[in-house]
Amino acid sequence: MCLAIPARVVELRDGDLAVVDLAGVRKEISLALVEDVALDDYVIVHVGFALSKLDPEEAARTLALFAELDGSTAP
């Protein structure tokens, strides 16, 4: 199963790289597939690449759903 998750951009680096915050974990990712990313933007991240930008409200809803699932029991 593949999962792409919203993350907030906390640092822009040279060479289409950025650091994102994933629920308190910071990770370097590539922005090569997405244009015009700025600090505090939300992006969808999959295997180290930003796939698209995401509206902050949609990011908040998605992260809230992940938080709910984190407390549930898988079948």
Q: What confidence tier does 69 reach under pLDDT thresholds 50, 70, 90?
A: confident
Is 54 within a domain? yes
Q: Which domain holds residue 34?
A: 5-70
- Asked if residue 27 is part of any domain, the answer here is yes
User: Would 75 be classed as within a structural domain?
Assistant: no
Residue 63 lies in a domain: yes
Tokens 């949609």 belong to 58
Domain count, the chain: 1
Which CATH number characterizes residue 26's domain?
A: 2.30.30.140
Query: What's the predicted TM-score (pTM) here?
Result: 0.83
Pairing relationship of beta strands 5-13 and 25-30 according to DSSP bridges? unpaired
* Residue 41 forms part of a structural domain: yes
Residue pLDDT, tens place only, 19-59: 999 889 999 999 999 999 999 999 999 999 999 999 999 98
